[in-house]
Each structure stands twice: as C-alpha cells, then as structure tokens.
Structure 1
Amino acid sequence: MPTAIGSYEERTRRPAGAASERTRVLTTRSVPPDESLEYWHDAVFDTLVGMEIAAEGPAYDATLRTDRLGDLRITTVEADPGRVHRGPRFIARGDGREVFVAVQGTGRARVEQDGRATELLPGDIGFFETRRPFRTTFPDRFRMKIFAIPRPLLMLSEADVRQLTGRAVHPGDGLPALLGPLLERLADTSASYTTPMAERLSESVIDLVAATAADQLGADPAELPGADGVLLTRVRTYIRWHLSDPGLTPSVIARAHGISVRCLHRLFEGEGTTVCRWIRDLRLGECRRELAARPPGPVSLGEVARRWGFTGAAGFGKAFRSSFGLSPTDWLDRVRADGPPC
C-alpha cells in the first residue's frame, strides 16, 4: 500500500543542504531512509509549494536543485515514482503566488487540474496553476524541471491560465519547439550566469513563455500575429543571446533564421523601430545597468562597451550621447551623485 505523509500541519523547518545562497541542493540521501518521505515533504514545501506526497514504501530516493535566474525560480526534481496532491488546505496557506511551467525530462507525469487530465512525456511542457488543486502521478522514476514565474510578469488572467492547465504542450514546431529546449538548457546552466546576464535571460524566457501561452490560447492575431509573431519572438531571443557579439548584423540575424534581410526589417517596422536601433537600445541599456552597479572608482568604458557588443569606447560614447544627451562619464557622475533615475 502507498505510504502517505499526512501529518504535515505546522512544520516549517528548512531542510539542510543549501549549496550556496543562489543554488540549493536537497536530497533524501542526507537523512535515514525511514525519514526520507517526511524530509522530502518539507523540502518540496520549502522550495515549491505545499503538497501531499505519497510513495510506495517508507524509503524514498529524491533530489531537487533550485536556482535563481533573475525573476525566475528554477527547480530540477529527480525522484522515485510517487503521487503529489495540492489540495485546499495547502492552498489556504497562501503560497500560490506563482505559475509553474514544467518541462518533463525523463519518465512520465499524469496531470489532473481544472477538470482535465493529460500525460506529460519527455520534452512536453505543462502549466500548473498553484492557486487551485492539482494531482500529479509519476508511475516511473522521473526528472522534471519547473520554472516558477511570478504571476504579474506572465500577464495572463486567471481564466487564461485555467485554459492552459491539464494539457500537454508538445515540442513539435512553432514556439514550443523553441521554448522546451531553451528551458531544459537554462535549468542546467542557470547558476553560471552573472547577475546582469541572468536578469536579461529571465526577461527573455518570460516573454517567450507568455508568447507560447498566447499561441496555445489562440490569441487574437492583432495581439500575436501568427507566423510573424513567432518569428519575431525567435529573432528577439536570438539577439539577446548574441548581444555581446559585435558582428551581430541584420545579415547575420537573417541568415540564422533562414529569411531575407528585407523580411527582417519588415518585422521590426511593424514594431515601430528598426533591428539596428533595437540592438543598440538593448546594448545601451545593459551598459547603463552595469555602469550604475559598479562601485565608486575609475571605470573602463571600453571594457564595458565591448562586453555588450560595441567595438570600443568611442562608438559607445557617441551612441550614448545621441540617446541620452550626456556622455557616459557625465551620466555616471550624475547617477553617483543623485542615485539611478526612476
């Protein structure tokens, strides 16, 4: 018979095992086998949300790793077969402030939420609403990567999220084919990025998740213009990933996406800008963010400029003055005197 942990009422202890402030690794192997389920229950509550957990037998082998990537909390779970149930008594605790977007790595997950049931196979993406009950059964040992996204950043109504739950998003083509592998890779590498890069990647990922959700919901073409909307999202993500490359030109971007330069320019004309201006503005924004975060003292403008794709201090200074009306040095002096602008 399954052994369920049903006595979890007021336990709020934090399991030991943090690897660093940004990365935590928790494993049932750190406690005696007869305490593993209780420990795992605490670990899941502490890292994700409160859930009832059931497994075959008292010994349970499971590990989770959690990292931060900007506004995203990323948790990779590897565990024995089992069942989880997020019921009303856990929801009442008020820990459902995020929407979970999960990628099934290995094994299977049978998901039930909002009156629907589906099975996630390796590579599939699933949306979980943490404000409402759900059940998930893992018939085999599995690995799942879970991205917890703050609800306001996803910009989806409760009704929209309700339409996404209990469904499997298959990575066949379109946005899911781009999103799934990206989430898989980021979950494995998230701890390696510097803070500015992590924040930038987080924004890109959330944008891509939101676009994928809109695509799955059949959003109004005016909000997500079909193939052009998918292509534009892919191009923007590509640009963000390659922003530090000074050779990032319209022809390089167009070739990477199998389109003409003219088609690329047309995509950005619909956004009221040009591809070159969009790249320049992104680079200037990253340079400003890095400069403002530097401690007082001399700053190598050329070093910062080259890190974000400018060829040197002269070109960076010219672009900066054209956009903000001040040289980078004068702007930095003002920031240090008055604080960053709102």
Structure 2
Amino acid sequence: MLSETVFQSEDLPVADRFDAWQALMSRTHAPMQMSSEDAADFRAHQRLIALGDVAVWPATFQQLVFRRTPKLVRQSDPENCHLSLLLRGNAVASWNRNEAAYSAYDLHINDTSLPFEIATGRGPITTIGIEVPKALLGLPWGSAQSVIGRRISARDGMGFLLAQFVSQLSADTRAYRPADAPRLGSVLAELVTALFAHALEAQDALAPETRDRTVTLGVKDFIRRRLHDCELTPSAIAAAHHISRGHLHRLFQAEGTTVASYIRDQRLEAARRELADPAQAATPVHVIAARWGFKDHTTFTRTFRTAYGAPPRDFRRRPPDPRRTHG
C-alpha cells in the first residue's frame, strides 16, 4: 500500500477545524490565505498520497477562497506546478488580471511562483489535486507556463488520460507497494508533461521516452476499455493509435511483456474479479469468459488455472483473498 496521510475535520473541535485546514493546505500546496462562509463549522476531508517528489491529494471541502499573495510567494515557493481535477462543484480563478471559470471535469493549472485567487462556489467541492515539481517536467518551464490558468477538459484526449490515471490511483492504493511510489510519480510527471505539450502543440519537443510512455499509457487504457471485443488485435490497436504494429510491439517489449500477454492478463483479471463476486454467483463460467473476450472455453479454463492455480469453477467455490491480483 502506498503511503497516505488522512485529514478529517470532524476529528477536531469545531473551533479548530478551519485553521487546521488552512495550515494543511499551506503544507500540501504552498502558504496561502483562506476565507470561507463556512469557517465557523468547516468540514473537509483530504487524503495525501506521496509519490516520491510528486503528490496526489483527493479532497472534499466546503466553500473557500484561496489567496496566494506576492508576499507569500516571496516568503516561500516550492517551485511546483499544480493541477486540480474538479469532480464536483465550480470555481473561478484569477491571476495577472486574467480570470477563468471551471466546472466538473475541468482541469485547472496554476504555479506556486505566481500570485492567484481561487473562489469556489457554494456547496461541497470535490477535487483531486496534483503537485509536480517544475524541475520534473520534460518541457522548459518558460514554455510550459503559458498553460497556467487554461481550462482543459478532462472528458477527452490527454486530459481524460490524466484524469483516468489519478482517479484510478486515488480509488484504491492497496494494489501498490511502497516501492512503486516513485515510479508512479514519474509516470504522473510524464503525463502532465504530455498534457502541457499537447496544449502547446509541442509534441515534438517531448523526449522520445516521454512520447513512448504517453502512447503506451493511452494504448493500455484503450485495451482495458475494449477487453470484451474478440477482435481486439495488435493490428486494430496500432491502427487506432496511428502507429505501426512494430512500434506497438516495441512499446510493450520495453516493459518486459507483449501486447498479447497484456490483453490476456487484463482479461483474466476481469474474469477473476467476477468469479469472486457473490453477485455473479449465478452467472455461468462460460458466460463470464465470453464477456471478457475469451472465444474458447477450454482455452480459458486452461489459461485461468495456469494463472491462478485452480480451474474457474474451483476458484469460484474457494475464492482466494479478493485483494490478490494476477501479475
């Protein structure tokens, strides 16, 4: 499990909650001034997930105004770029005489080196914050900083890919080991770099390894969303991503696997989850197998037994620890 620090305002006396939240936000992001219409009985929850030098923090909180003044910037600057994936609520940000409005499934980007003010709307706000040192980005900050304040959609394209990554990571960190943290942080920094490059139309400025990693993540997301498709082949995947089959195979070879193995393992894991799910107890094994793209039941049974040590029917009768995953 990854290292997490949890803050729950209800654990504190009412009179201490808002000050504690302001102090927490100043440590998580950068020193800020805050005000809230709900300060008298402020309610907030945050999980801070450490990924080496990168951090992800899912949070829900009441109405707030965040202010980072020129004086606070001079006093302390962690030299981070920050991204907020807004999941519920709305906000308005202002900086350098500019202003932009954000709503659910928008990404807001700011810079700890710039003064800003962000005012959220009424009602609870749910967001996933991302803190990335500017030094970890694969683009010169002088170019990348022009994305500050832009409203970028998380519903499609690079924004969607980044949102999927942080949402899945935040949903359950038990699948990862502590040693995975810096690797996940590096992947996240590369995704942020790719998002900025796309916004700047500067894909050619990316290092080749960053471009390849971004393509690989996109391919994996494409595969996971189409596991049910029996025609999910390397040719179809390569065509959908406008790359050659040879390039596709090299991307997976760089990760020590093959396209076919990745598809098989993802399908097996999806089938395993359903076989272990009591709600699926009445669903025949062959239906589950077909649902996840296995054309031949005999092949599915043999492959499943090799991966999990028992045939599907025996596995269903004596399911292992549900937290166990293949690979």
TM-score (norm 2): 0.65
Distance 1:277 1:64, change over 3 A: closer
- 2:157 — aligned with what? 174
Q: Structure 2 matches for 1:1-342, cutoff 5 A?
A: 22-57=3-38, 58-140=40-122, 141-190=124-173, 192-219=175-202, 222-223=204-205, 233-236=214-217, 238=219, 252-256=233-237, 259=240, 263-266=244-247, 274-275=250-251, 277-280=253-256
- 2:297 — aligned with what? none
Distance 1:92 1:196, change over 3 A: same
- 1:332 — aligned with what? none
Name the CA distance, whole Å, in 1 between partners of 2:141 and 2:253: 36
Distance 1:115 1:260, change over 3 A: closer
Gaps of 5+ in 1: 1-19, 243-250, 269-273, 283-310, 312-342
Distance 1:37 1:170, change over 3 A: same
Assess if the C-alpha contact under 8 Å between 1:129 and 1:161 holds in 2.
no
Assess if the C-alpha contact under 8 Å between 2:161 and 2:218 holds in 1.
no
How much has 1:240 moved relative to structure 2?
A: 10
Assess if the C-alpha contact under 8 Å between 1:128 and 1:165 holds in 2.
yes
How much has 1:239 moved relative to structure 2?
A: 5.6
TM-score (norm 1): 0.62
Q: What SS is found at the alignment partner of 1:75?
A: strand
Distance 1:31 1:178, change over 3 A: same
CA RMSD of aligned residues (A): 3.4
Which residue identity lines up with residue 168 of structure 1 in the other structure? R
Assess if the C-alpha contact under 8 Å between 2:68 and 2:117 holds in 1.
yes
Gaps of 5+ in 2: 224-231, 259-306, 308-327
Name the CA distance, whole Å, in 1 between partners of 2:242 and 2:25: 48
Assess if the C-alpha contact under 8 Å between 2:9 and 2:17 holds in 1.
yes
Distance 1:163 1:34, change over 3 A: same
How much has 1:230 moved relative to structure 2?
A: 7.5
Assess if the C-alpha contact under 8 Å between 1:235 and 1:253 holds in 2.
no
Q: Which has the higher contact order (CA 8 A, sep 6+)?
A: 2
Q: What SS is found at the alignment partner of 1:163?
A: helix
Name the CA distance, whole Å, in 2 between partners of 1:275 and 1:98: 30
How much has 1:54 moved relative to structure 2?
A: 0.4
